[in-house]
Structure 1
Amino acid sequence: MLKFDSRDTRYKKPFGAVAAGTTVYFKFPVSADIGATEVALIYRGAEEGKLTLKRLGDVDGYTVFTGAAVFNTPGVCYYRFEIHSVRGTLYAGRVGDDGKATVGEWLKEWQLTVYDPSFKTADWLKGKIIYHIFPDRFCRVEDGRRPAYGKFKSWGKELTIFDPDGIYRADDFYGGNIKGVLTRLPYLKSLGVGAIYFSPVFDSHSNHRYDTGDYMKIDPLFGSEEEFKMLISECEKQGIGIILDGVFNHTGADSIYFNKFGRYPGIGAYQSKSSPYYPWYTFTKYPDEYACWWGVTVVPTVRRDCEEFQNYIAGPGGVIEKWTELGVKGWRLDVADELSTAFLEKIRAKVKSLGDVALIGEVWEDASTKVSYGEKRSYLFGRQLDGTMNYPFRTAILSLFKDRNAENFVDSVMTIAENYPHDALYQSMSLLGTHDTVRIITALGGNHNMRTKAERLHFRMPLAEYKSAARAVKTASAIQYFLPGLPTIYYGDEIGMQGYEDPINRRPYAYGYEDPELLAHYRYLGKIHAEFPQEFSIGCGRNYISITRGKYTLHVYLENMSYTITNS
């Protein structure tokens, strides 16, 4: 009955999101037997309006209507079509997540994302492969340094998942350091890596360092500021940029700012209401009851509207300025949903004032439509993030292995491709694992239904199961690399490291236990990815999916989840 498809530029042009002020052309063919006399485009959201399309005439049994609209306000618009015909008034929308039109009541509308025409992403990061390092667990060169608190372990010793009292304190350290990273730069280059994303490197009293003790200092177990400068310099020589983790929603309770345990000089917010840091936090019953992230008392949250803190982070001489001027080329914002719109815009303004610097946010869902704390977020409209971590692609890949539904997979990918500004899509991570997820090889292995964390800690796949899971990782990573965005390797995934949820997914890098076939596969993907143009195309049949990047096409066969890569 209808031929319109928002993902086909014969019917809507240009494809996907548009810069404000862009003319968007619509072509809407209606089956002649409907007897359409008029078609109108109705839109709402960032802008509201109604556009009557022009009737062109009848072509091949369809009455064709066309029109053009200009959207001037950054944000999300939703649209549908109203058809006046001899049958009465009909409405056209879509069913599911594809772009095709159908007639019916209460159907889903199409989405059109409109972004600020000045939106620009970091040039240096385009087309790069990112390697995600969890600093304490990647590589250690012995230098005699030991943590001031907690347990220091030999590299091969098993993780601590809870202390004898049943509490996990994240205070077992393996001593991964800057010197170790420096020795591994040739290895990273062999993978085609062009950027390193470090989980937090600032002073802290935990192994994950998301409880920042001092934003202005490198954690002494990881290295010194001079060593960090050396790392930046050596990375630049190798064509590798460094992205730091900006944890700006909360600090550590054990910090120069809160100073709950009195380990830092000066007076923290916990110690006195006269502390310069007291206005940063929200106390409900001073000093022991205070707002904290997800109720975790070691990470008190900072007030969303605290200008003093925002200036400390993004103001003159602040955290972002210090480390970016030192040579850092990008920032990943932890829990971006927790940061206010004003703060995000202030961070972007600072970052972009310092040069060609990237800004990526931790957002787990479709960032164009994300709602947090009742607020519609504006991450990708040109004034906040360059891109996101793009977990929806990971979800789509895992779902493909589970249900083997090619159309669902393509629709999931194309929804993000259609909703994100082009440059934001290509400056978003394409990932299979992070420090917050089950290791990809474990996720693609068998379901062993282990009830306790201790069981999950000690589990290793039998050899036959491991080989099957490794084959699945090869297919999943091939898809990952062919999708638009920045392929991101979580350290150790490329060698087959196993592990369930945090902290089991944060073991020390398994030196001496690498899977050579899997590693060779990742090196091959890195090599061909360097030849990919930005654009991609994707298609599917009942039992296959194909993704093309330039002269390379990936074919995935759903019957056994195998793949081939052809070079035209």
Structure 2
Amino acid sequence: MSESGIHKQILFSLPFEEGDESCYLKGSFNCNGDGSVELLKTDDSRNWEVTLKLLPGTYNYFYSVNQYNLFNEQRERIKKPMTLHVKQEYFFHDPDSTRFFSRNGGFFVIRCITPPDVKNVRIEQAGSRKKKNDFKFRSRDYNLFEFISRSDGKYIFYDNHGNRYGPFTPPARDEAKKSSNIIYQIFPDRFNRKGSPDAEFTKWGEPPERNSFFGGNVEGIIEKIPYLADLGVDHLYLTPFYSSRSNHRYDIDDYFSVDRRFGTLDQLTTLSKKLQEDKISMILDMVFNHTSIYFPQFVRELREKLPHDQSWYKFIKDTNEGMRKRWPVKDGKTDAFYESFLDNGGMPKLNHRNESVKKFMLDVMDFYAERLNVSFLRYDVADSINLNSIGDIFRKFREKFPEIGHIAEVWCVSDIFFRKGLYTSSMNYGLRNLIISLMNKEIGPNRMNSELLNMRFILGDDVYGKMMNIIDSHDTPRIRTILGSEKLAMAAYGIIMIMDGMPSIYYGDELSMEGGPDPDCRRTMEWEKVGSEFYLKFRELVKIRKENPAAYNGIIRFSRDKKGLINITKYSIDQKIEMNLNLGDSEIKTKEKKSLNSIDEKSATIGPEEFSIHVY
């Protein structure tokens, strides 16, 4: 184990055996992805090896051979993961890294990391007294301390052991430019249908089943552009619209054509132009972990076996007891064994190290970036796409489209996806889980502050400020159903509307739509609810974000007052936003406040599960 800054280089190694076609590292450091971290055979073919740089922390992991055979380092089959502790052994601060120093809302944000035995750190700046930390995170592997300052003077740290570190000089770095960045996610088959006869599809409003087609189409979205503009949307995120035989279209037959049920490429181009007139850009879903079994190259390879290094897929020779049969596709002689998405044989996994596959991925990205007004590309199952390969692709893509961002679909908080040249942000399931836990009273304000500090540290402020902050999505139950309350669902959105990052609205949440696990979370849009009290209040939340820079650029702090209200304060040098949330069982009286704009300004009480927002 060697050290570079705060990352520690760790060698992972597993003995190689005949029949091995691939070896992945699946762990909490890469969201247990199948392929983002791929081990390579050593020159003597005796071992699989890879070296990773990891931040301090506790990690669980497996070695995965031929995707589903899980081993420990002695190549013994295991069901429970191994555990690795990476401890911070010394004080560290680097003002040139946004992990340790940034400017936000006019403030200077300064952080340091220490061994776990350091209990307190104070900071001293020229012309001021020593100051204790504003936020703190503690764990068995490391501690974090964060200080919020108005001064740009040199600073020195002091810990409780009497050690002094510094002085440090603030870097000449401009504050990152931010905006409201409100995302609206559409599941295309369920948003709006125009022009198609009802007989072709399941009746609009019926409960969705796995194979239901409701016929939402491009023309239906075009018809609702005024609705999106009135709501305040900045980016429209479409899940896949490519040619496919499923309603979700994540198993793609042809990446260069639009599914006939959804529309045409010309109509999609028209949609992009009309959205642009209302200053709305597009976010497109790139599905590169896998294809469908009807994808031409896969059909070809079932008929004509290619050498392993030429194949677009990963066919497995190993048919031992530990190897699962993926899909009953015959090649004329034997069952076809291949790696797939979550053991779903209908979605064979691509071999991302193949140069032809990499060129194909880049061609798809170029094709749509050249034709549509794209602000971001979102990558499905990014935790299973080889990181070296996606880095090669991004490097070439950015030569032509440097302004387009890249959002990873990953379900954990890890910096491994945001190293130099890789993704610019991700769907923030970590924040979603924290907000739900807060609403369910499983964690309190102090824990919220602590976990958010750790998230900012892991990601660095440059990534944290671009995260796609979700409350739910097409892969989760809806927030209204999870919390069982319209008021709490509204409050959850209230929180992400005053946080740095990009708040994402899943279609229909602004109408208090319900929905359990997939497919129930993919119900048809309930247009009859537009204009409801819930919708009007939700629109006010969006308005507060759009009109107040502190909502997307500043410091956030959670606390609890003496009356039991959860106080969420978001502030910059020039502005302050206060959200007061009542998670108790009875009304709480509040002082009447006068503010620039607000929600529930005239209310003297906040009822159970209700909240108020004031801007000063």
The equivalent position to 2:284 in structure 1, one of 244, 252, 264, is 244
Cα deviation for residue 80 of structure 1 reads 2.2
1:335 counterpart residue number: 381
Q: Find the residue that maps to 2:418 and give its secondary structure.
A: coil
CA distance 1:80–1:74, change in 2 (3 Å): closer
* 1:283-302 equivalences in 2 (<5 Å): 283-284=315-316, 287=331, 288-302=336-350
1:131 aligns with 2:192: no
CA contact (8 A) 1:94 1:101 kept: no
Cα deviation for residue 139 of structure 1 reads 0.6
Q: Can you list the C-alpha shifts for 1:361-401, whole angstroms capped at 9, x where unaligned?
A: 11111132xxxxxxxx2x22332111111111111111011
2:557 counterpart residue number: 538
The equivalent position to 1:282 in structure 2, one of 303, 314, 317, is 314
Measured in 2, the distance between the counterparts of 1:176 and 1:230 equals: 16
The equivalent position to 1:312 in structure 2, one of 360, 363, 367, is 360
Q: Can you list the C-alpha shifts for 1:484-540, whole angstroms capped at 9, x where unaligned?
A: 211101011111111100011001112224571111122111111112322233131
1:86 counterpart residue number: none
CA distance 1:344–1:121, change in 2 (3 Å): farther
* 1:363-402 equivalences in 2 (<5 Å): 363-368=410-415, 377=416, 379-402=417-440
Measured in 2, the distance between the counterparts of 1:101 and 1:422 equals: 16
Measured in 2, the distance between the counterparts of 1:281 and 1:483 equals: 41
Q: Which amino acid aligns with 1:249?
A: N
The equivalent position to 1:326 in structure 2, one of 363, 371, 378, is 371
2:23 counterpart residue number: none
Measured in 2, the distance between the counterparts of 1:196 and 1:277 equals: 39
Cα deviation for residue 357 of structure 1 reads 0.7
Q: Which amino acid aligns with 2:579?
A: L
CA contact (8 A) 2:115 2:141 kept: no
Cα deviation for residue 98 of structure 1 reads 9.6
Measured in 1, the distance between the counterparts of 2:501 and 2:309 equals: 39
Measured in 1, the distance between the counterparts of 2:174 and 2:259 equals: 33
Cα deviation for residue 352 of structure 1 reads 2.5
The equivalent position to 1:411 in structure 2, one of 441, 450, 454, is 450
The equivalent position to 2:504 in structure 1, one of 483, 488, 512, is 488
The equivalent position to 1:557 in structure 2, one of 582, 592, 595, is 582
Q: Can you list the C-alpha shifts for 1:399-454, whole angstroms capped at 9, x where unaligned?
A: 01112622122222232233322231121111111001001100011xxxxxxxxx
1:39 counterpart residue number: none
Measured in 2, the distance between the counterparts of 1:236 and 1:392 equals: 31
Q: Can you list the C-alpha shifts for 1:517-567, whole angstroms capped at 9, x where unaligned?
A: 111122111111112322233131353222225343222233233211112
Q: Which amino acid aligns with 1:137?
A: R
* 1:82-161 equivalences in 2 (<5 Å): 91-92=117-118, 100=136, 108-110=142-144, 126-143=179-196, 152-160=201-209
Q: Which amino acid aligns with 2:288?
A: F
Q: Can you list the C-alpha shifts for 1:218-257, whole angstroms capped at 9, x where unaligned?
A: 1121111111110111011110000101111000112233
CA contact (8 A) 1:155 1:174 kept: yes
* 1:123-522 equivalences in 2 (<5 Å): 126-143=179-196, 152-160=201-209, 170-259=210-299, 268-273=300-305, 279-284=311-316, 287=331, 288-314=336-362, 318-327=363-372, 328-353=374-399, 354-368=401-415, 377=416, 379-403=417-441, 405-445=444-484, 469-514=485-530, 516-522=532-538
Measured in 2, the distance between the counterparts of 1:120 and 1:345 equals: 27
Q: Which amino acid aligns with 2:370?
A: E
Q: Which amino acid aligns with 2:419?
A: F
CA contact (8 A) 1:483 1:547 kept: no
TM-score, normalised to structure 2's length? 0.64
Segment of structure 1 superposing worse, 479-488 or 281-290: 281-290
Q: Can you list the C-alpha shifts for 1:183-216, whole angstroms capped at 9, x where unaligned?
A: 1111011111010111111111100001011111
Cα deviation for residue 471 of structure 1 reads 1.1
CA distance 1:277–1:154, change in 2 (3 Å): farther
**Runs of 5+ in structure 2 lacking a partner?**
1-53, 58-85, 101-110, 122-132, 147-170, 318-329, 585-607
Q: Can you list the C-alpha shifts for 1:285-318, whole angstroms capped at 9, x where unaligned?
A: 574221111110110001232221111112xxx0
Provide the identity percentage. Answer: 27
CA contact (8 A) 1:94 1:109 kept: no
**Runs of 5+ in structure 1 lacking a partner?**
1-42, 53-66, 83-90, 161-169, 260-267, 369-376, 446-468
Q: Which amino acid aligns with 1:338?
A: S
Measured in 1, the distance between the counterparts of 2:93 and 2:195 equals: 65
Q: Find the residue that maps to 2:514 and give its secondary structure.
A: coil
CA contact (8 A) 2:137 2:145 kept: no
1:528 counterpart residue number: 544
Segment of structure 1 superposing worse, 537-546 or 230-239: 537-546
TM-score, normalised to structure 1's length? 0.70
Q: Which amino acid aligns with 2:188?
A: P
Segment of structure 1 superposing worse, 327-336 or 509-518: 509-518
Measured in 2, the distance between the counterparts of 1:137 and 1:324 equals: 25
Measured in 2, the distance between the counterparts of 1:309 and 1:405 equals: 47
CA contact (8 A) 1:320 1:350 kept: no
Measured in 1, the distance between the counterparts of 2:488 and 2:558 equals: 20
2:592 counterpart residue number: none
Cα deviation for residue 108 of structure 1 reads 3.0
Q: Find the residue that maps to 1:127 and give its secondary structure.
A: coil
Measured in 1, the distance between the counterparts of 2:120 and 2:313 equals: 46
Q: Find the residue that maps to 1:364 and give its secondary structure.
A: coil
Measured in 2, the distance between the counterparts of 1:111 and 1:383 equals: 28
1:32 counterpart residue number: none
CA contact (8 A) 2:87 2:115 kept: no
Measured in 2, the distance between the counterparts of 1:274 and 1:68 equals: 51
Measured in 2, the distance between the counterparts of 1:470 and 1:192 equals: 21
CA distance 1:540–1:311, change in 2 (3 Å): same
Cα deviation for residue 144 of structure 1 reads 5.9
Cα deviation for residue 156 of structure 1 reads 2.5
Cα deviation for residue 135 of structure 1 reads 0.6
User: RMSD of the TM alignment (CA)?
Assistant: 3.7
CA distance 1:344–1:109, change in 2 (3 Å): farther
Cα deviation for residue 344 of structure 1 reads 2.3
CA distance 1:242–1:101, change in 2 (3 Å): closer
1:567 aligns with 2:611: no
CA distance 1:107–1:128, change in 2 (3 Å): closer
Cα deviation for residue 329 of structure 1 reads 2.5
Q: Find the residue that maps to 2:255 and give its secondary structure.
A: strand
* Equivalent residue pairs, number: 438
